[in-house]
Amino acid sequence: MTRHLIGLSGIDLATLQRILGLAELLRNNRHHGVDKLKGKLIAALFFEPSTRTRLSFELAARRLGADFISFPLESSSRVKGESLLDTISTVQAMGVDALIIRHSASGILHWLKDKMSIPLINAGDGAHEHPTQALLDLDTIKQFFPSVKSLQVAMIGDIKHSRVVRSSIHALKILGAHITLVGPPTLLPSEFCRLGVNVSWQLEEAVRKADVVYLLRIQHERQQKGLLPSLKSYTSQYGLTEQRLQWLKPGALVMHPGPVNVGVEITAAALRRLKKMPPEQARVSIEHQVASGVPVRAAVLDFLLGGDQR
Ligand code: CP
């Protein structure tokens, strides 16, 4: 049966631990996995912009010895009206072994997977899931804390449009973390309560008890008019400001998936100060998260294509 990585909803503990274990091996030993995917061809089709995800998948594929092609959509036959299914079937027919897809339509990979005979990897679909981001975030957390179990994680911001939140909830819960979602009522749908997480509008209370403070990007591109009075009002109520840094628990870790809207989710002054704080006071992992992207995505490629079906 073809393996895919569409989302982390429904992932079991053994699979999660296997991917994270592989990532750790790849991170700690630069010779591990070299040439494991030699002869494989991996294609990336990004229908939305990306820096971190696309580049780190390319580096991950090369690290394992695979060939990697990235598809320039703006000069493809998509502009002549070729359908998504035609585009993807055409790429598959050229002998590609796996397809990495980012698309604005939530759930599109579930629809595509039944029509494909090669592994599909979700690089972010609308407001649905971004599984490799959640995996690399876990890999990062594991580098800062001895265990994920019982950690208090506050995820703050645009919950409504966040595919990162939807993937992270599943993975963090399996590993035993406690999650509180915080944001303005218009960006915090009440249905999240059903996922076994706390939902709050109270930033201070959530930050004070959090081991991990995860700032979510305000997604300008997915905002419907009227959900926020202004970005300034968002920052004044939910942004991490210099003054609010004093709410952080000693040793708390501040995370962000990037790209950071400096001045919105966190002020420039707060970010500068956070980076200079001693680790026992507070830590920030934005660059660690980027660095984790390569071994974690290599682990995913190895898991799906490496031939080890354990
Ligand atoms: N975090 C993330 O997905 O970043 P990119 O959009 O740059 O890939």
Active-site positions? 52-53, 80, 102, 130
- pLDDT of residue 95 exceeding 70: yes
Say how many Å lie between the CA of residue 133 and the centre of ligand 1.
Answer: 8
Separation between Cα atoms, residue 11 and residue 53, nearest integer Å: 21
Shortest-distance Cα residue to atom 6 of ligand 1: 50
pLDDT for 230 equals 87
Confidence bin at 301 (pLDDT 50/70/90):
very high
pLDDT per residue as tens digits for the range 161-218: 999 999 999 999 999 999 999 999 999 998 898 999 999 999 999 999 999 999 999 9
* Ligand 1 atom nearest 102 alpha carbon: 8
Separation between Cα atoms, residue 133 and residue 102, nearest integer Å: 12
Report the SS3 class of residue 155: strand
pLDDT for 310 equals 45
Burial 207-232 (b: 16+ CB within 10 A, else e): beebbbbbbbbbbeeebeeebbeebe
Shortest-distance Cα residue to atom 4 of ligand 1: 52
- pLDDT of residue 9 exceeding 90: yes
Q: Which long-range contacts (CB under 8 A, 24 or more apart) does 89-94 make?
A: 89/115, 89/116, 91/43, 91/45, 92/116, 92/117, 92/118
Residue 283, ligand 1, Cβ within 6 A: no
Residue 219, ligand 1, Cβ within 6 A: no
Stretch among 1-10, 216-225, 264-273, 286-295 having the lowest mean pLDDT: 216-225
Say how many Å lie between the CA of residue 293 and the centre of ligand 1.
Answer: 10
Determine which helix (DSSP H) or strand (DSSP E) holds 268, and give its type and residue range: helix 268-276
pLDDT for 223 equals 63
Give 142: exposed, middle or buried? Use CB within 10 Å, 0-12, 13-18, 19+: middle
Determine which helix (DSSP H) or strand (DSSP E) holds 41, and give its type and residue range: strand 41-46
